[in-house]
Amino acid sequence: MSLQPFAAGAVTTTDARGKPIHYALKKIARGRYRMTQTDRGSDFGQGFELGFFPLPGAPSNVLVYQAASLDHTAAGANLRYYGVLVVTGQKSAKEIRPDCEKDARAARASRTRMGRDGACTFRDRNALEKSLLALWKSRKKPEHSYTLK
């Protein structure tokens, strides 16, 4: 079971340039969420299934996120994206995404490699947690902010 740090509702995310994107966040089975884009356009309805877990060695408001694309193909059925979510309030959070090329120190900490799609791949759960803790400790700035309405 994953954690559910947020209520369901409308979410606005902004990237480092301040561009807003709107999503609907719904709670689903096993403590997970489904987040789908609500802005009209080519990405309307696309999104992710999300799970949040504690990151051992980090403060309680720093979580591991696991995201699986809702529109994955059969070949990518097991593909998961991982990163750090910093909960900044009851209705807000910031996301730090690992970049296996740019975050070399965090990747080296667990011998993490870049996968075929550019996402980081981890040998096992221990390697994932070790790498994300190193990323958190590196003080990398969050790239995305989330606000729940």
Q: Report yes or no on 129 lying in a domain.
A: yes
Q: Report yes or no on 99 lying in a domain.
A: yes
Q: Report yes or no on 114 lying in a domain.
A: yes
Tens of pLDDT along 96-136?
A: 988 776 655 555 555 556 665 566 777 788 888 988 998 89
Structure tokens at 147: 């606000």
Q: Report yes or no on 104 lying in a domain.
A: yes
Q: Report yes or no on 4 lying in a domain.
A: no
Quote the CA–CA distance of 18 and 15 in Å, as a whole number.
Answer: 5
Q: Report yes or no on 3 lying in a domain.
A: no
92, 82, 13, 143 alpha-carbon torsion, rounded to 10° = 90
What is the pTM assigned to this prediction? 0.84
Question: Residue 75 sits in which domain range?
Answer: 9-148
Question: Per-residue pLDDT averaged across 63-92, rounded?
Answer: 82
**Which position has the higher pLDDT, 37 or 18?**
37
The pLDDT value recorded for residue 109 is: 58
The count of domains in the chain is 1
